[in-house]
Structure 1
């Protein structure tokens, strides 16, 4: 990299950070997750509005490789944190309902997407229809666990039973969705050229479960208690994270699965504070510098300037399947599990949130050439719309005054029990 390119990289990173901060703050002021604002910033900086000359000045192609590398590092850290924050205790006492909602919110949109996917395959550059149809079905089935958790925390609903059930359902759905994506990319890999290395995925998972997991617990423990998170231990854990990502990338599965699985292998029982400290060490750098790069680059890949009548029809079909399948599947399965209409609507509204997880999904599909750029653009719009819907729908089913009432009741219950 030349001196000029290095200087341009610094300038571009500064522009990206400012754009992400400004648009993210604007999104929060509107009651939306910051990710929507950051994605919007990328879309506005892309070919949808800006000319090629202006884009070349702000984001020159000469530093494209460096920006893409930073975006990939951001994905590694993000997926590690997603795996790290998965808590198996969330399912305790909620197993039946959480499983029902998770499966319903995946199976229904996946099944509904098969027909439209076969139709869209004829309109786009699709090499093999099987991985394409499977990918579209999987993309329709995604729930953004991190965004859902942030929405619940902002509304203080994570302290309520319905919030815990939503977190459990989304956590289980997250695992199922990543497994599904791993399968889809494996199928796409076989179709593209017989990547026999994918067969190493099973021994890799076994290695992580029975070798790496015990080693991580031993490394993070001293005298039977969590070890302090020293710079040396943090370096060791991050090195293991990168090696896990390297391994999955080498065996033909996307590196995000190695990062996610490595995070899920971190010790859990008795390590809540340790895990939280680990996230707090990583998120400031990842969330402030690296993830905005990923968001803006993803947004810049969106080109809505060429969307014609056919594209608008496809977008309408995508939204109908994504919203109808996800919301309807979660709602009906929640009702079948014995939840009331208001609770079921609340869960369905939350499960329809796609956010960053959907963008990661779509990026993998674009990198593997399972979908083309036109369809990527339409699916990003779907991710933005479904995430933006969550707040208003949640307010409709579970307004803030009800949340405050139930929080007050939940706080008073132990006191009343003691009086009795």
Structure 2
């Protein structure tokens, strides 16, 4: 009887948390869209406001009653399952066809390289410079590497939404930006996987060899076993009238979670399995559209607020000291300058004019969701301390908030008509 009561109490607590998370996310989504910002930024801010930066600070007793002293295991697992589903959608949405365009290939590669190398280098410098004062007990190399990846990342999902809102998806600028960001993200995830493996492993030649062999086997399985299997599945259970057959949806979920187990066993995190599964389906546009409509929308409304609140409960803006504020300024300067300056000059070298280059630089500065995923991995592994985690979360929000206003300022100079932001 006691166990039944405990289970009911746990269910009550989780349901209450979900009501607060989803309700706050929707309200802030609408508020930010009304201000011309992507709604997802409002959801990120909602997660921050529910944490110790506002709600937990002014109403500590209520916050403790609702969320507990730390995120519950159930909420933590929900956030991770949501990330696997989200990473599947990101992988499925990738359009690698843009990368085969000879006309813009040079521009894409120049911008991708500039948007990765320079901010990664600045992140390394920032990590080594701040480690003695911010992370004295953490391995300086691993800490600096995480800082480098954090500054180098660009958020493809949010960038895609912004491009749709500003009607840039079919313009040369939009195609180059999303293609360069795709390369940026793939390289960033590979770097993150390698750094995470290095950070968590007992580094040895035998271990490294096993890891490389396991990754090679997984890649071969994806290309020669699972890709043909997916093609067969879609012939066996085709999408009809934009609806996914139940059997196809069930098998897709099993493939996704199975790959999550495989990448976890290799040591590169379960969320990479979701991304790899998405890549298997990205050529099948009818499936991708149906999945986005039937499953993706639910993922964004239900799971994403859970992840944002999970991040917000770990982020305490009020916990930054006056000394930390100086480092925060440096983080923002390195992050913004490290993206905008090299992308601007790479765009000019690729033949874009000053206004177009400024627009591309503004777009590539977008970080948001992908940044938060990277930061949570670093935090969970213990290689990003609380204060730096908070500063990098602030950077992710600020760099993304900048994009909309900059585009509204710059796009009219190219003759592009800017309409009111659509729903994100």
- TM-score normalized by structure 1? 0.91
Equivalent residues, number: 402
Q: 1:262 to 1:38 in 2, by over 3 A?
A: same
User: Aligned residue for 2:272?
Assistant: 257
Q: Distance in 1 between matches of 2:381 and 2:202?
A: 11
Q: Distance in 1 between matches of 2:202 and 2:31?
A: 44
User: Aligned residue for 2:170?
Assistant: 159
The reply on whether 1:239 has 2:254 as its aligned counterpart is: yes
Q: Displacement of 1:259 after TM fit?
A: 0.9
CA contact (8 A) 2:119 2:339 kept: yes
User: Aligned residue for 2:148?
Assistant: 137
The equivalent position to 1:306 in structure 2, one of 312, 319, 330, is 319
User: Aligned residue for 1:331?
Assistant: 344
Q: Displacement of 1:123 after TM fit?
A: 2.0
Deviates more, 1:11-20 or 1:187-196: 187-196
CA contact (8 A) 1:102 1:170 kept: yes
User: Aligned residue for 2:133?
Assistant: 123
Q: Distance in 1 between matches of 2:282 and 2:355?
A: 36
* Structure 1 residues without counterparts, runs of 5 or longer: 406-420
User: Aligned residue for 1:413?
Assistant: none
Q: Distance in 1 between matches of 2:193 and 2:392?
A: 19
Q: Distance in 2 between matches of 1:17 and 1:226?
A: 30
User: Aligned residue for 2:422?
Assistant: none
Q: 1:235 to 1:342 in 2, by over 3 A?
A: same
The reply on whether 1:76 has 2:90 as its aligned counterpart is: no
Deviations 1:158-207 (A, max 9, x none): 13221112121112212111111111112212358996663422322222
Q: Distance in 2 between matches of 1:359 and 1:25?
A: 21
Q: 1:334 to 1:286 in 2, by over 3 A?
A: same
> SS of 2:317's equivalent?
coil
User: Aligned residue for 1:284?
Assistant: 297
> SS of 2:134's equivalent?
coil
> SS of 2:415's equivalent?
helix
> SS of 1:159's equivalent?
coil
> SS of 1:265's equivalent?
helix
Q: How does 1:200-239 map to 2 (within 5 A)?
A: 200-222=214-236, 229-239=244-254
Q: Distance in 1 between matches of 2:278 and 2:375?
A: 22
Q: How does 1:79-94 map to 2 (within 5 A)?
A: 79-93=87-101, 94=104
User: Aligned residue for 2:186?
Assistant: 175
* Structure 2 residues without counterparts, runs of 5 or longer: 1-5, 419-424
> SS of 1:143's equivalent?
coil
Deviations 1:286-333 (A, max 9, x none): 111111110111112111222112210111111111000111111111
User: Aligned residue for 1:8?
Assistant: 13
The reply on whether 1:33 has 2:44 as its aligned counterpart is: no
Deviations 1:335-354 (A, max 9, x none): 11111111111111000000
Deviations 1:263-305 (A, max 9, x none): 112251xx21222112222122211111111011111211122
Q: Displacement of 1:63 after TM fit?
A: 6.8
Q: Distance in 2 between matches of 1:61 and 1:316?
A: 30
CA contact (8 A) 2:411 2:417 kept: no
User: Aligned residue for 2:111?
Assistant: 101
Q: Distance in 2 between matches of 1:305 and 1:6?
A: 31
The equivalent position to 1:388 in structure 2, one of 401, 408, 413, is 401
Q: Distance in 1 between matches of 2:192 and 2:62?
A: 36
> SS of 1:2's equivalent?
helix
CA contact (8 A) 2:128 2:141 kept: no
User: Aligned residue for 2:366?
Assistant: 353
Provide the alpha-carbon RMSD of the alignment: 2.1
> SS of 1:403's equivalent?
coil
Q: Distance in 2 between matches of 1:192 and 1:293?
A: 35
Q: Distance in 1 between matches of 2:191 and 2:351?
A: 28
User: Aligned residue for 2:23?
Assistant: 18
Q: Distance in 1 between matches of 2:77 and 2:114?
A: 36
Q: Distance in 2 between matches of 1:385 and 1:211?
A: 43
Q: Displacement of 1:222 after TM fit?
A: 4.6
Q: Distance in 1 between matches of 2:202 and 2:161?
A: 38
